[in-house]
Structure 1
Amino acid sequence: MDLRKALLAIRLVGLRTAFRAVRAAWERDRWERREKRPALAAWQSVEPLRTMIPLPDGARFTGPGAELEIRFLAPDVVRLTWTPGVLPLPYAIARERLEEVRVAHREQADGWTLESEALGLEVRADGGIRFRDGAGRIWRAEDPPERRGEAWRHRVRLRPEERLYGLGERAAPLNRRGRVYRMWNRDPGGSYGPGADPLYLGIPLWLSLHAEGAYLVFYENPFEAVFDLGASEPEAAWVTFTGGALREYVFYGPPPRLLERYTALTGRPPLPPRWALGFHQSRWSYESAEEVRAVAQGFRDYDLPLHAIHLDIDYMDGYRVFTVDRRRFPDLAGLIRELEGQGVQTVVIVDPGVKTDPGYAVYREGVARGMFCRLPDGRLYRGLVWPGWCVFPDFTDPEVRAWWGEHYRAFLEAGVAGFWHDMNEPTAFVAWGEPTFPDCVRHAMEGRERDHREAHNLYGLLMNRAAWEALRRLQPDHRPFLLTRSGWAGIQRYAWTWTGDVESSWAALRQTLATVLGLGLSGIPYSGPDIGGFSGAPSAELFIRWFQAAAFMPFFRNHAAKGTPRREPWVFGEPILSIARAFLRLRVRLLPYLYTLAWEAAQTGAPLVRPLFWLNEQDPALWEIEDAFLLGSALLVAPVLEAGARAREVLLPTGEWYDFWSDAQRAGPARVLAEAPLDRLPLFVRAGSLLPLAELEGVTLHLYVSSEGGGEGVFYEDAGDGFGPYRVDRFEWWWEGESLRIHRIREGELSEPEGGFRLEFHGFAPARAWADGRPVPVEGSTLVTPPFTELILEGRPVRSPA
């Protein structure tokens, strides 16, 4: 740890805790010395495979020291498992099989081939594997894997033009190639910037783009791993796991299909409550009910939309989880009711560490029932966190998950709307070395008893599972909202995340885009940063540029560390306050669009924030764009990422684009210089898109008409929470001579919108309109029509070149 980080850590945790952290590190090291590992031998390639046993959906190959099982889960999805090694518990897996598939087997001179209708595998006798498409082109090649003790590694060949994305949360470029990454969830220590690795939430997954197509590979192995993606050997990736079987799932197809298949396997993100897509205000910490009231009043006084306030650890009694400090929050339920009456929801933080205090009911009950992790000698493991010495629930035990989940009941009864899970990598304070449990700590692992080497990366995932299952049980008519700092593959089934304790710098703002995009390509569609950075004092300009970028990300929260200057928008004065107000109002306008994207994510796994290559993965010019992003497929957002900039270059992909602010039209592909005064950022709408916006106490459907062809879009509506009726309106439009024809298909049982649909056209000036044969009045570029199946409009195209 460098001196700057050491001083920051002392400031955050306090001097007394810092001294205790020395003892915690010493105790951890003592246990690690007791658990001696055998000396590592040299890496050995697997011995040649000798036999193939055909299976209806794959095959099993055996050799003297290893076995390979290949199973097709769908024509374009295949699972490969090399053993020996403990098989993973299926915590990440939501569906074992995606489609029925039949596989053809063929023996060759140097191995075997397996073929589905979509792809083929060549398995060589030496253990090398080649993946081919229907035309016989190789799109992935693996060399024979190697073993060393319990560890596995293998080498994957990379093409010269190949780009690699994903790996979960990373402070790295969007294209992960050329670096080494550690797969071990870790708190970087109060502040981090670009290049820090590892971070809180790793996913052993990458998405590849190259000239022969795209594929995604997910390694279902929770042990610590190293992904060397062309750093030590430019034309190859080395993947090394310290234990467990070498199991991988390989998916083939364009990126939207890859995320759809991956989330079919590991679970779709559920539809959140609509308020969660609004603006969240937070700080470490609002330390009293009166301070919370004052903050909420400030948002009303300055006419700033607010949807949620987060309570950090100081609402607790001595940082004891599931307690409330009754001196500072004498009536938490009453406070929550007040806020709810103002349209503001309350989210409270929950940490896994339970203070070792015999007078504390959660600790006392947990000890009596055997709920906490233990050391090899049977004693409770204790680590140092905010309350002091703590014990930790073993979330790999289903009884512990049920017991822990029951503690959310009192908060739900008080009206808490959401829960924020922190410190669940899991983190324990130490003066040096790994800030987590010793490797030897024991975990139930559903009854098979393993140590922390296997359980570590699963801890955050299973904490969120415990809470999710409890919230669904305790409030069956409400959708849970969970926010987590850590997790693993499958976390999207339970929780959102954020980018953690990022520093306050322009470089960190730029990094935020690549981090959020990488999370989306790792199957986690809901994330966002602490606006302005967590651990510093952003300038007014940096704050508002960060605010503008975050306004287009799924999780929109203002948060900062203890000891930093206040960060509420009015603190910065004018013009920052007015600019923040305008973007908060724009976020409210965007809620129907964001909510529709959330529904789409629940159906297909598509991230809300997408890289530009999502539109066309075959265009290499888009492969490394990380200073702009798509919000859905309609909006292209180009945040300002440099101090003093009042214009920036933007790459517009192929097609027609509208400037959101002026309606000026531009043609892509093109690099354009876009104006970016302090009060706005470059924002473009793709022609052929539907953009539902909250306007005039309802929703206006904005249709951006293309001169080259038609367009399509979806609008989703329901009550905003619960599991009641919904309605999906699918629109498709096209030119028919001089007329624009719009077709609508309705799904769901929710009633038609009261007052019909309000449509506003861009790039088209309607003169007359008929809804299902009946005339509809036109006012300028807008019309209000009763629900329809077919809408026909006469008018003329409007061109407004930039």
Structure 2
Amino acid sequence: MAKRKSTCNNSNMAFMQLSMIGLALVLLFEPGHAVDKSNFKTVDQCGFARRHKDIPEGQSPYAAVLDSFHIEADGVMRGNILNTKNGILLSLEVFGLEDRMVRFKVNELSPIRPRYEVPDVLVVEPTPIRWKINKQDSTSIEAATSSGITVLLSSEPFRMDFYDNKQLVFSINPRGLMKFEHQRERRKSVEDQDQPAEGGEEVDNVEPAVVEEQEQEELEEEPEEPDMWEETFKSHTDRKPYGPSSIGLDFSFPGFEHVYGIPEHADSLALKPTGPSDPYRLYNLDVFEYDLDKRMALYGSVPFMQAHNKERTVGLFWLNAAETYIDISSNTADKSVFGRMFDYVKGESDVPQVDTHWYSESGIIDTFLLFGPSPMDVLSQYTDLTGKPFLPPLFSIAYHQCRWNYNDEEDVKQVDANFDEHDIPCDVIWLDIEHTDGKRYLTWDNHKFPDPGRMLDHLAAKGRKMVTIVDPHVHRDNNYHMYKEGKDNDYFVHKQDGSEYEGWCWPGSSSYPDFTRKDVRDWWASRLSHDSYQGSRPNLFNWNDMNEPSVFNGPEVTMHKDVVHADGWEHRDVHNLYGLYFHMANAEGQIQRSGGTERPFTLSRAFYSGTQRYGAIWTGDNAAEWGHLKASNPMLLSIGLAGIPFIGADVGGFFKNPDEELLTRWYQAGAYQPFFRAHAHIDTKRREPWLLQPESKLIIRNAIRARYALLPFWYTLFHNSSQTGLPPMRPMWMEFPKDADTFSMEDQYMLGNALLVSPISDQGSRATSVYFPGNDPWFDVDTFFAYQGPATHNVNADLDKIPVFQHGGSIVPRKERVRRCSSLTVDDPYTLTVALNNAGSANGDLYIDDGHSFDYKQQKYIYRQFTFSANKLESRALSGAGFETNSWLERVVIIGLKSVPKKVELISQTITQLSFSTSHNRQVLTIRKPGVNIGQDWTIRLS
């Protein structure tokens, strides 16, 4: 890696160069080197986490001061919580919200300085609905909302139990693990009696506040621990001028055995109980070739958990952007709690319960409880809060080809040409960091890419796009326009002494824009304009990597926690938001460059709640191993359950060299995942499909073509996601919520409610077991063979076969003409595959717009519903107007017919007889060329 002159002094430069040499050995290793876990903290190496996980159960010092609680004019219940050991008062606000949600916030009543509250994640501040106090005595308050949600607030110890129509759903602080570290001045130790306190001024010890003077002698001072004010990990010291400020609380889900969510982790879909040393960690980190079956932090953090049983689904959203841990354990619910308010006990047997403990380094307790009751309701409620997913442009859900790196313009030209020569569709070619001038983003290497505009125009003429990488670290070079502008305008984050923070990443010495500032995001967005980003074109899009943020010489390969952002907030407060803000800036820049008319596409590695509003994410630096292929299913399903639907894993594995069987199976799996991109490390062998043996190339080509045929189905799923928050890729239990056999299932999944996918992820496997839930048939999409549920069947899975099944009762739209890219399919005709249920009926939908602009927001789209019942297939408009299509209905395939019709008629403006044929023992009826415009009302009648 080339070293360039920086603004560091000579001694710092020497140190940094040595550091980079060491990092090069760690990061630019041979593919296959396992992650060095010593670079990342364990929970026992984290001071605030130790203080929380060592809290004894059942000894909570917190008590609700009941006579302070009242319902204010805005309908919110407010009052105080007293720490009886130190006399500190906390404020508690409990909000009843529309659409069956509750929010509560706990903060210091009189903090020394404001505590961080997460901005920009909620799309609106939800409007409260009024609580009504039903009963109050010396031990508790019972209050209810008009939506049937009731809270029992218990005084000592402080506890809240939330009921939904007399069913206990959430218990807050049932084990007494709440801890809220109040802000304080540092007490002088024996060693520093004569030294001034932190900040240079000598101060007195702060006396515990807000209790009667005669009680002061009974209060206890909280023990001081060294890591409350300063903490060291390896060679890095984190200085904490504001002292300890962590928060924690335990939550129980009575009646539940399964919880899901809180990505990102390379772990199971159904979250496992944690031990004392392996809680789930949420702290965005750059982890090369992560291990599997681990709870260690990865690139993204979404503090949202769902619990599910046969009766209902609920959600918990912990709105905090600091480093966070979650402990999970299985338990049995306390039946006495069920009867405390209603004398209600659900059955005689033990009631299962999941206990969770959440603790974060800073901020406040700001929690949303989502009462469902269905899985769809919970995701709708969550995305009402954090934003519905954006509707991606059509090209972005097609196939992407990437590697680190395509060498130059000629290499790009050859890759593009080879897709056409081998009849393999592809929409996007990607360029990694080597395309830039010395890792200076938004620039080009003039030797390798002397005319990027011509290269992009060549791709555009064929309907293809390009994506270039844009990372947040800015090379410290006064001749680099991004650095000079950032420095001149003071846009970069600072150290505590006010100087510019310097870290090291791919270009070497780097500064990091403070994307928590809107003016900085606006500046960055403006630099994506075609005038500023020289050589760019409308068909050029962005990829945001390293935005955790990654700092090679920082603690845990990220930014120091005591770095200072806007308004004096420390990085510890905002860490998990940094990648979201960077993603936000890049998406906005793409929108601005088009004058607000074109939809953006930006891929991000780091993410947080709300990322779904801006673009896609992927699972980072996976490896070409069967285990990583298998792990992609639960990882993607977990992220989808956290409200982020546009998700994928690098096809083939980023590290190492897959053999042809593994690569083939990975393409088959990727073709049925939301974001479909092949990617590879710079040290791997080239593995484009045409470089493989002919039989492997053919299988991969067929998998990619299958993806393109289903683009109308995928696009409709993404439209529905943008309206409801439901991910296209769904765990089985989401579609079959009462079937307990699906609750831990992660090796198969649903696309919408129509397709069941069971990717092969075991080497040498040529068959697999598939569970078919429900009572209706499931039809193999290739052979139309029917499997009856509920049952497990052994199905064929030869190397050229990916097991995919259409559910009886669904209708799936396809476009089956083979094209080089999605933009050339716009006017192609449709095929409707109608799979009948036991009642002989089916339904489905189809969404169409121009595929790229925001015109759909002005109702310029087509949204049709298809229904088959009583031997009639009908098409009717659901919504949309002002958009027309030239696409027509070429074919209808009806699977599962009980009898063959004598004639088939199209009823539109006139009645026309249609030709048809049967196959597969007369169970499949194919109707040819109805010829009607797909956007019109019509009926096909079988008689």
For normalisation by structure 2, the TM-score amounts to: 0.78
How far 1:37 sits from its partner (Å)?
9.8
1:10 corresponds to 2:12: no
Cα offsets for 1:379-407 (capped at 9, x unmatched): 11111100001010001111111111111
1:260 touches 1:605 (CA, 8 Å); kept in 2?
A: yes
1:710 corresponds to 2:728: no
Who is 1:97 aligned against? 126
Who is 1:146 aligned against? 178
1:471 corresponds to 2:605: no
Cα distance, 1:546–1:45 mapped onto 2, change above 3 Å? farther
State the alpha-carbon separation in 2 of the partners of residues 457 and 494 from structure 1.
16
Cα distance, 1:92–1:671 mapped onto 2, change above 3 Å? same
Alignment partner for residue 71 of structure 2, among 47, 54, 66?
A: 54
How far 1:777 sits from its partner (Å)?
2.2
Who is 1:637 aligned against? 757
- The residue correspondences of 1:360-399 to structure 2 (distance < 5 A) are 360-399=480-519
Alignment partner for residue 544 of structure 1, among 664, 673, 676?
A: 664
2:392 touches 2:615 (CA, 8 Å); kept in 1?
A: no
How far 1:756 sits from its partner (Å)?
4.3
1:320 touches 1:387 (CA, 8 Å); kept in 2?
A: yes
1:170 corresponds to 2:265: yes
Alignment partner for residue 108 of structure 1, among 136, 153, 169?
A: 136
2:267 touches 2:292 (CA, 8 Å); kept in 1?
A: no
Cα distance, 1:688–1:322 mapped onto 2, change above 3 Å? same
SS of residue paired to 2:449:
coil
Cα distance, 1:563–1:507 mapped onto 2, change above 3 Å? same
Return the structure number with greater strand share. 1
How far 1:146 sits from its partner (Å)?
1.9
Alignment partner for residue 672 of structure 1, among 793, 811, 818?
A: 793
Greater alpha carbon shift after TM alignment, 502-511 vs 359-368 = 359-368
State the alpha-carbon separation in 2 of the partners of residues 640 and 371 from structure 1.
48
How far 1:104 sits from its partner (Å)?
2.6
How far 1:695 sits from its partner (Å)?
2.5
SS of residue paired to 1:168:
coil
1:735 corresponds to 2:865: no
How far 1:235 sits from its partner (Å)?
4.8
Cα distance, 1:727–1:759 mapped onto 2, change above 3 Å? farther
1:86 touches 1:245 (CA, 8 Å); kept in 2?
A: yes
Cα distance, 1:218–1:454 mapped onto 2, change above 3 Å? same
Who is 1:217 aligned against? 316
Cα distance, 1:366–1:257 mapped onto 2, change above 3 Å? same
Alignment partner for residue 450 of structure 2, among 325, 330, 353?
A: 330
SS of residue paired to 1:702:
strand
- Counterpart amino acid of 1:242? E
State the alpha-carbon separation in 1 of the partners of residues 910 and 130 from structure 2.
53
2:258 touches 2:354 (CA, 8 Å); kept in 1?
A: no
How far 1:120 sits from its partner (Å)?
2.0
State the alpha-carbon separation in 1 of the partners of residues 868 and 459 from structure 2.
47
Who is 2:11 aligned against? none
State the alpha-carbon separation in 2 of the partners of residues 241 and 319 from structure 1.
35
SS of residue paired to 2:550:
coil
Cα offsets for 1:272-324 (capped at 9, x unmatched): 11000111000011121111111112212211111001110000011112211
Cα distance, 1:510–1:749 mapped onto 2, change above 3 Å? same
Alignment partner for residue 272 of structure 1, among 379, 392, 395?
A: 392
- The residue correspondences of 1:445-456 to structure 2 (distance < 5 A) are 447=567, 449-456=568-575
Alignment partner for residue 439 of structure 1, among 546, 561, 565?
A: 561
State the alpha-carbon separation in 2 of the partners of residues 231 and 201 from structure 1.
26
SS of residue paired to 1:80:
strand
Cα offsets for 1:134-164 (capped at 9, x unmatched): 2x11122122552252222122224475211
SS of residue paired to 1:442:
coil
Cα offsets for 1:101-147 (capped at 9, x unmatched): 4433223332232233242222222321112122x111221225522
How far 1:614 sits from its partner (Å)?
1.4
SS of residue paired to 2:420:
helix
How far 1:623 sits from its partner (Å)?
0.6
Who is 2:198 aligned against? none
SS of residue paired to 1:497:
strand
State the alpha-carbon separation in 1 of the partners of residues 303 and 887 from structure 2.
49
Who is 1:744 aligned against? 876
- The residue correspondences of 1:626-705 to structure 2 (distance < 5 A) are 626-654=746-774, 655-696=776-817, 697-705=828-836
SS of residue paired to 1:72:
strand
Alignment partner for residue 150 of structure 2, among 108, 113, 120?
A: 120
Who is 1:798 aligned against? none
SS of residue paired to 1:230:
strand
How far 1:749 sits from its partner (Å)?
2.0
1:646 touches 1:677 (CA, 8 Å); kept in 2?
A: yes
SS of residue paired to 2:801:
coil
State the alpha-carbon separation in 2 of the partners of residues 667 and 282 from structure 1.
41
State the alpha-carbon separation in 1 of the partners of residues 873 and 601 from structure 2.
40
- Counterpart amino acid of 1:776? T
How far 1:61 sits from its partner (Å)?
2.2
Alignment partner for residue 82 of structure 1, among 80, 95, 106?
A: 106
Who is 2:477 aligned against? 357
1:75 touches 1:119 (CA, 8 Å); kept in 2?
A: no
- The residue correspondences of 1:396-411 to structure 2 (distance < 5 A) are 396-409=516-529, 410-411=532-533
State the alpha-carbon separation in 2 of the partners of residues 37 and 183 from structure 1.
14
How far 1:230 sits from its partner (Å)?
1.6
Pair member with larger Rg: 2
- Counterpart amino acid of 2:867? W
For normalisation by structure 1, the TM-score amounts to: 0.91
SS of residue paired to 2:579:
helix
Who is 2:237 aligned against? none
1:46 touches 1:66 (CA, 8 Å); kept in 2?
A: no
Alignment partner for residue 161 of structure 2, among 130, 137, 142?
A: 130
Who is 1:18 aligned against? none
SS of residue paired to 2:815:
strand
SS of residue paired to 1:63:
strand
1:778 corresponds to 2:914: yes
Gaps of 5+ in 2: 1-20, 31-35, 42-46, 83-88, 109-113, 182-244, 333-352, 818-827, 917-925
State the alpha-carbon separation in 2 of the partners of residues 377 and 782 from structure 1.
75
SS of residue paired to 2:297:
coil
State the alpha-carbon separation in 2 of the partners of residues 268 and 459 from structure 1.
20
SS of residue paired to 1:156:
strand
Who is 2:741 aligned against? 621
State the alpha-carbon separation in 2 of the partners of residues 453 and 482 from structure 1.
26
SS of residue paired to 1:599:
helix
Who is 2:403 aligned against? 283
Greater alpha carbon shift after TM alignment, 207-216 vs 317-326 = 207-216
1:763 corresponds to 2:896: yes
2:811 touches 2:866 (CA, 8 Å); kept in 1?
A: no
Greater alpha carbon shift after TM alignment, 355-364 vs 137-146 = 137-146
How far 1:500 sits from its partner (Å)?
0.4
State the alpha-carbon separation in 1 of the partners of residues 713 and 632 from structure 2.
22
1:139 touches 1:213 (CA, 8 Å); kept in 2?
A: no
How far 1:455 sits from its partner (Å)?
1.6
SS of residue paired to 2:357:
strand
2:674 touches 2:728 (CA, 8 Å); kept in 1?
A: yes
State the alpha-carbon separation in 1 of the partners of residues 673 and 481 from structure 2.
40
Cα distance, 1:290–1:191 mapped onto 2, change above 3 Å? farther
State the alpha-carbon separation in 2 of the partners of residues 720 and 263 from structure 1.
23
Who is 2:370 aligned against? 251
- Counterpart amino acid of 2:163? R
Superposed CA RMSD: 2.7
How far 1:485 sits from its partner (Å)?
0.3
